Structure 1
Amino acid sequence: MSQVQHYKLDVNVVEPPSNYAEKFPLGKVPAFAGEKGFKLTETIAITLYLINLADPKSPLLGKNAKEYALILKWLSLSNSELLPQISAAFTRLTGAAPYNKKIVDDALAQADKVAAIYESRLADFTYLVGERLSLADLFSAVHFVRGFDHLFGSEWRKQFPNITRWFKTVISHPILHAKIGDYKFREKPVEYVAPKKEKKPQAPKAEKKAEKKADKKEDDEEPPAQAPKPKHPLAALGAPKIPIDEWKRTVSNNKPEVALKYFWDEFYNDEDWSLWKVDYKYNDELTLTFMSNNLVGGFFARLTGSTKFMYGDLVVYGENNDNGITGFFLVRGQDYVPAVNVAPDWESYSYSKLDPKDPETKTFIEKMINWEGDIVAEDGKTKAIVDGKELK
C-alpha cells in the first residue's frame, strides 16, 4: 500500500497466505491483521486506520468534523458507485469477464453520472474537500486511474476537463507519484475485440473425399434445429403473465398503498414469481449508516444484468456504528441464485423464501417499499429504518 511506504509504517505487505480464509472468510483483499487478534477488512477502514497510525492529526483527514464527514462521503462514493461501474466496463472490454454490450453500455453511462458529480464540484474548487488536498482526492484519484487506463480517451477528457485537471494535480502528490509516475493518457478508449475462432486442421485429401461422400448421403436429412441460448438463465422461463415493467411503473408512479394493492391483487402469482427476504451477513462490520446505504447501492449496481427479472428494496436500520441491512427481492421463477449471482458480492447476503400468504410478509414488504417502520435486529432490539435503496 502506498501509505505504508510513504509513512514508513512498520507494516508488512504480503500476499494472502494459505490459511487466509480462516481469518477473513470472504477472501477479499486488502485485509489487515494486527496484534492481539485485531483485524480489519474493507479498503476505507484500513486506509483510515493506517493514516491515523502515521499521524492522528494528518491534514489528509480534514481540519474539523464537517470536513472529515465530507471526506468519508467522497471515499464511499468512489468505492461504491464509481469503481464498480468502471470495473464492470473494462473487465468485459478487455476479456477479463464475458463480454455483454448492455452491461458495458449501462456501466459506462452510470460511471459518467458519478463523474458528473465530481466535475460539478471541481468546476469551482481545486480539491474535493476544503482548500487543500485530502484523502478524498487521493482515494478517488486511485479509482479514476482505472478509468483513465482503459475507458477515458481524449473525447471523455474534453467532456470532463475539471476532473482531468484535478487528476493531474492529485497524482503528482508523493504518495501517488511513487506508484503511478509520469502518467500518459490514452487517446481512445479500449475496444472489445472478439476472440478469433480457431481454424480447423485441414484433413488429408482421402479423408476429404470420404467426408464429401458422407455429406451427399446426408443431404436429404434436415439438421436438428438448435434452440437459441437465452442471454440470461431466467430468460428460459419465458414471459410472465404480466411483465415486471408493469409493476415497476406502478410502484414508481403511485402512492405505496395503491402500488401494493396492485401488486397483491393483480400482479403477483406463485407460478411466475417468488419472494425472498435478504439480510446482510456482516452487520457487525457496518459503521456509518450512509456508508451502509452506499454498500447497498454498490450491490444493486452489480445486479444490473438481472434487473429485467427482479425487483427489490433493501433498507438500513439503526444508527451509526449500530446498524444493519435487510430487505426483499421479487424474482422471476422459484430460485433466487440465477438472479443474484451476477453480482460478485451476492454471497455477502443471506436469502430466505417468504410466504406471500403470510400477513407478516405483506407487512414486511410494505415497510421495505416505504423505507419506514421498525425492524427487530439480530440482538432482539427494535431499530428504526433510516434509509434505503430500490432495485428496478
Structure 2
Amino acid sequence: MAAGTLFTYPDNWRAFKAQVAAQYSGARLKVASVAPAFTFGQTNRTPAFLNNFPLGKVPAYQGDDGFCLFESNAIAHFLSNESLRGTTPQAAAQVLQWVSFADAEMVPPASAWVFPTLGIMQFNKQATEQAKEEVKKVLSVLNQHLNTRTFLVGERVSLADISVACSMLWLYKQVLEPSFRQPYPNVTRWFLTCVNQPQFKAVLGEVKLCDKMAQFDSKKFADMQPKKETSQTKKEKPVKEPAKPQEKKEKKKAVPAEEEMDECEAALAAEPRSKDPFAHLPKSSFVMDECKRKYSNEDTLTVAVPHFWETFDQEGYSIWYSEYKYPEELTQVFMSCNLISGMFQRLDKLRKNAFASVLLFGTNNDSCISGIWVFRGQELVFPLSEDWQIDYESYNWRKLDPNSQECKTMLKEYWSWEGEFKHVGKPFNQGRVFK
C-alpha cells in the first residue's frame, strides 16, 4: 500500500484527485500544504525540492520510500487501487479515456470561463462566450453517456469519475447556475452522487452548487494583481499601524492564483526587480494597457481592432508573425495548447510590453501553431532578457509591415479568431491570448 506526502497549496483541485483516490484505496497520504511543512513559492524553489521535482510545480508526491512523482494524473493513478484503475483491460482503457477527456476537453474551457470570475485572469468576452459553448458541448457528451449509467465506467466509482468531477468542481461552484445546467440533468445527478460519497466529502467537504452565475469583478482582479513598490513607498517608513502592509502581503501569498491559471507561480511578484530591458527606448504615445482593455471588454472587430490602428505607434512598437518550427512534433491538441500556455507563463514579465494572439490549427497529429505579436521596439524582444529566451527559438519570426494589407488582414484574423487564414491551410482549432 502506498504511503507518502503530497505537496500542494490549499484547495488545489488537481491535488484533490490524488486525495480522493487515496481515500478509496486506503493509501496513507500526508498532505503538506501550509507552513512549516510547505510554503508555496518558497519550498518549491529550494534545491532539495527541485532535485526531486525539477519543474517546481505542485501537486508533487514523495513516497516514504523516496519514490517521487509529479503531474496530478500520474499521482492519482499511483495512489489508486485496481478497482479505481479498471479491473479489465477494457475498463482500464475507458478510465484513461475519461481522465484524458477531463484534461483535454473540460479543463481548458472551464478555466477560460471560471478564472475571470475568481479574479485570476482578465475577462475576455469573446473567449468566455466560446468557452461557454465548449462547456455545453462537453456537458452534452457526458449527459448522453450517463443517460443509462450511474458512473462513467462500470458500476462503481473509478478514477474516471474522480478526475472528471474534480475538473468540474469550480464550474458547478461558480458558473453552472440552475438554468444553464437544466438541459444536463444526468450530469448534475452524477456529479452530486460523486461529491456526496464519503470519500469525496472527506476531501472536498460540502459542495454547494451555485445559485447565480458568477461574473467578472474588475476590483477583485485588480486586488489579485501583485502591487509594485514605488520609490516613494520605499522611502516612507510607516509609523502608525505598521502591520497593515504586512497583513496585505501575507494575504496575497496565501492565494497562489497564477498556479491555477497556467501554473505561473504567484511568487514571481516577490522577486527582486531587474533592470528595465526597454530603458534604452524613447517614450511612446501608444498605451498598451488601453489596447488590451478594449480587446478584453469590447467587440474585437468593431472596437478593439479600429482602436489599435488609430493609436498604434509604428516607431515605438513593431508587429511580428510567429510560426512553430516543428509541427511534426505536435500530437495531441491539448498538449499543443499546453505548449502555448507554457510559453505565455514563462514570459509573464513581458506582459507590460507585449500582446499576442497565438492560434492552434488542425487536429490531433496534424496541426500547427502560429500567431501575431506586438512588441515594444523594432527588434525581437526576447534577447533583451534571460527570462524571455526559453521558447522563442522554437519559432520562426517574421516582422510585418504595419502599412501592408497582409499585416492588417492577419492581425484582424488572429485577434478575432476567424477568417480565411490562407497562409495556414488547416482549420482553426483553438486560440490563446498573451496579455
Structure 2 length normalisation: TM-score?
A: 0.52
Q: Where in structure 2 are the equivalents of 1:79-118 lying within 5 Å?
A: 79-118=103-142
Moved more, 163-172 or 306-315: 306-315
Q: 1:165 aligns with which of 163, 175, 189?
A: 189
Tell me whether 326-335 or 73-82 shows the greater mean CA deviation: 326-335
The aligned runs of 1:164-243 (5 Å cut-off) are 164-195=188-219, 229-231=290-292
Q: CA deviation at 1:120?
A: 1.6
Aligned residue in 1 for 2:22: 4
Q: CA deviation at 1:75?
A: 0.7
Aligned-partner Cα distance in 2 for 1:155–1:315: 33
Could you say what secondary structure the match of 1:188 adopts? coil
2:61 is matched with which residue? 32
Distance 1:152 1:92 in 2: 15
For 1:349 and 1:126, locate their aligned partners in 2 and report how far apart those are by CA, in whole Å: 45
Structure 1: where are the runs of 5+ without partners?
199-224, 240-269, 284-288, 318-324, 338-345, 357-368, 372-387
| Structure 2 residue ranges without an equivalent (≥5) | 1-18, 224-284, 297-303, 310-317, 345-353, 383-387, 399-423
Partner in structure 1 of residue 239 of structure 2: none
Q: Look up the SS of the partner of 2:140 in the other structure.
A: helix
1:45 to 51, 71, 74: 74
Letter aligned with residue 21 of structure 1: L
Amino acid at match of 1:46: I
Structure 1: how far apart are the matches of 2:165 and 2:380?
A: 40
2:164 corresponds to 1:146: no
For 1:380-391, list aligned pairs within 5 A.
Answer: 390-391=429-430
- Once residues 114 and 93 of structure 1 are traced to their aligned partners in structure 2, the CA distance between those partners, rounded to angstroms, is 20
Following the alignment from structure 1 to structure 2, what is the Cα–Cα distance between the partners of residues 148 and 348? 37
The residue correspondences of 1:8-23 to structure 2 (distance < 5 A) are 8-15=26-33, 16=38, 17=43, 18-19=46-47, 20-23=49-52
Change (3 A) 1:118 1:348: farther
Q: Give the conservation status (yes or no) of the 8 Å contact 2:321–2:370.
A: no
TM-score under structure 1 normalisation?
0.57
Partners of 2:291 and 2:307 within 8 A in 1: no
1:277 to 320, 325, 328: 325
- Shift of the 352–152 alpha-carbon distance from structure 1 to 2, 3 Å rule, reads same
- The answer to whether residue 94 in structure 2 is matched with residue 70 in structure 1 is yes
User: Is the Cα–Cα contact under 8 Å of residues 276 and 351 in structure 1 kept in the other structure?
Assistant: no
Identity of aligned residues (%): 23
Question: Does the CA-based 8 Å contact 1:88-1:103 persist in structure 2?
Answer: yes
1:247-266 map, 5 Å: none
How many residue pairs were aligned? 279
Residue of 372, 376, 397 corresponding to 1:331? 372
Q: In the TM superposition, what is the alpha-carbon distance from 1:24 to its structure 2 partner?
A: 2.3
Are 1:295 and 2:335 an aligned pair? yes
Is the partner of 1:68 in helix, strand or coil?
helix
Hey, what does 1:267 align to over in structure 2?
none
Q: Which residue of 1 aligns with 2:394?
A: 352
Q: Say if 1:315 and 1:82 are closer, same or farther in 2 by CA, change over 3 A.
A: closer
The answer as to whether partners of 1:313 and 1:327 remain within 8 angstroms in 2 is yes
How far is 1:279 from its partner? Answer: 8.3
2:319·2:372 contact (CA, 8 Å) conserved in 1?
no
Q: Which is worse superposed, 8-17 or 157-166? A: 8-17
Structure 1 residue 193 displacement after superposition? 3.4
How far off its partner does 1:27 sit? 2.4
State the Cα distance separating 1:133 from its structure 2 match.
2.7
Q: Which has the larger radius of gyration?
A: 1
Structure 1 position 125 matched with structure 2 position 149: yes
Residue deviations 1:103-147, cap 9 Å, x none? Answer: 332222222222221112112322212333321112211222211
